Amino acid sequence: MPKSLSAIVLALILIPAVVPGEQAAQTNPPAKPAGPQPAPMSVQHIAGGLYLVKGGSGANAAFYVGEKGVIAVDVKMTTEAARQMLAEIAKVTLLRVATILITHSDGDHVNGLTGFPEGLDIISSEGTKREMAEAFQDERFAGLRKYLPTKTYKDPFTILVPMPNGYSSLIMLHLFGPAHTSGDTVIVFHEEKAAFIGDLAFIGRDPLIHRQKGGTVSGYLGSLKKLIELEGVETYLSGHADPLTKADLKALLTTLEEKVAKVKALVAEGKTLDEIKTAFGLTAPAGGQPSRFPSFVENVYFELTEKK
């Protein structure tokens, strides 16, 4: 693993953007069964050099345009989606992507790496790199092994991006501890008063807690509190929601804390997991497919009772 760094000044090189037609063919992981088609990819300007990429296969991503190059934040789920993302970036700037920041290891955020040219700087937390390396041992993802992060960091991590006005824009990477996974990175764009928060906020559905990756309910709630406390941040960019405000995060935190309190009360009454799930209306419909991941309520129960 590369030696952890405390700060880096990115010297991004001015060359034409890499567009899909110029990419070398990459090996995709096997296709999954057909499901709902993703929304068309689109780009939303947030502020300054920051843009949000929505739609396409995989979670929301982002990119940041400096004076000499582009920083990508997460990279979609497939080679094709990543190439679409590069094409969208090329509509905004002729500069190439020189650096990729990875918020966490889930496939809908990292599997698109094969759509990017090799040899880029890829930065993540140590936990995220470890989880990616473990996942890429699977032969289905052999093509992703050459895209493991090239740098890892310890909190906080500073990036200074040269800007056209002669000043440098400040980007800070933070690691608040295990939450959704063991190594969720929060990326704060100070001049834009915005933060990209990966999967630390889901709206309209409960969050996923990947306990197999070291995620915890208590850490998730703690990370939400720290996000709300971030000074100067007004806009939060989630992997699975439109841009959010502090008020949105406060409402989400309240809802999740209320669910945790209810599960605690039911556990204290000696209720079983099935009884608790019924109390939350989580019984599966007859003949329905079981959920791929434990629900938030189940994870609260497991954490409270120390069951894996």
pLDDT of residue 166: 86
Its domain, for residue 137, covers: 5-246
Categorize the per-residue pLDDT at 290 as very low, low, confident or very high, splitting at 50, 70 and 90. low
- Residue 182 domain flag: yes
Q: Is the pLDDT of residue 298 over 70?
A: yes
- Residue 127 domain flag: yes
Q: Give mean pLDDT, residues 116-133.
A: 96
Q: Give mean pLDDT, residues 114-132.
A: 97
- Residue 33 domain flag: yes
Q: Is the pLDDT of residue 247 over 70?
A: yes
pLDDT of residue 11: 44
% pLDDT > 70, the chain = 85
Sequence-ordered list of residues with C-beta below 8 angstroms from that of 157, at least 6 positions apart, any chain: 5, 6, 7, 8, 123, 172, 173, 174
pLDDT of residue 22: 42
Q: Is the pLDDT of residue 137 over 50?
A: yes
Rounded CA-CA distance 252/50 in Å is 25
- Residue 155 domain flag: yes
- Quote the number of domains for the chain: 1
pTM: 0.87
- Residue 31 domain flag: yes
pLDDT of residue 10: 46
pLDDT of residue 37: 83
State pLDDT tens for residues 248-280: 999 999 999 999 999 999 999 999 999 999 999
Which tokens go with 282? 């989580």
Q: Is the pLDDT of residue 14 over 60?
A: no
Per residue, what are the HEC states of the chain?
CCCCEEEEECCCCCCECCCHHHCCCCCCCCCCCCCCCCCCCEEEEEECCEEEEECCCCCCEEEEECCCCEEEECCCCCHHHHHHHHHHHHHHCCECEEEEECCCCCHHHHHHHHHCCCCCEEEEEHHHHHHHHHHCCCHHHHHHHHHCCCEEEEEEEEEEEECCCCCEEEEEEEECCCCCCCCCEEEEECCCCEEEEECCCCCCCCCCCCHHHCCCHHHHHHHHHHHHHCCCCCEEEECCCCCECHHHHHHHHHHHHHHHHHHHHHHHCCCCHHHHHHHCCCCCCCCCCCCCCCCHHHHHHHHHHCCC
Q: Which residue has the higher pLDDT, 42 or 287?
A: 42
Handedness of CA 29, 34, 35, 41 (dihedral sign): positive
Mean pLDDT of the chain: 89
Closest CA to 185 of 103, 98, 116: 103
Q: Is the pLDDT of residue 212 over 50?
A: yes
- Residue 97 domain flag: yes
Q: Is the pLDDT of residue 308 over 90?
A: no
Categorize the per-residue pLDDT at 286 as very low, low, confident or very high, splitting at 50, 70 and 90. low
Distance from chain centroid for Cα 121: 17
State pLDDT tens for residues 85-113: 999 999 999 999 999 999 999 999 999 99
Q: Is the pLDDT of residue 23 over 60?
A: no
Q: Give mean pLDDT, residues 139-145.
A: 95
Closest CA to 107 of 128, 142, 76: 76
State pLDDT tens for residues 170-190: 999 999 999 999 989 999 999
Rounded CA-CA distance 282/279 in Å is 8
Q: Is the pLDDT of residue 5 over 80?
A: no
CATH of the domain at 12: 3.60.15.10
Phi, psi of 74 (to 5 degrees): 60, 160
Q: Is the pLDDT of residue 17 over 90?
A: no
Rounded CA-CA distance 265/271 in Å is 9
Q: Give mean pLDDT, residues 42-69.
A: 97
- Residue 262 domain flag: no
- Residue 302 domain flag: no
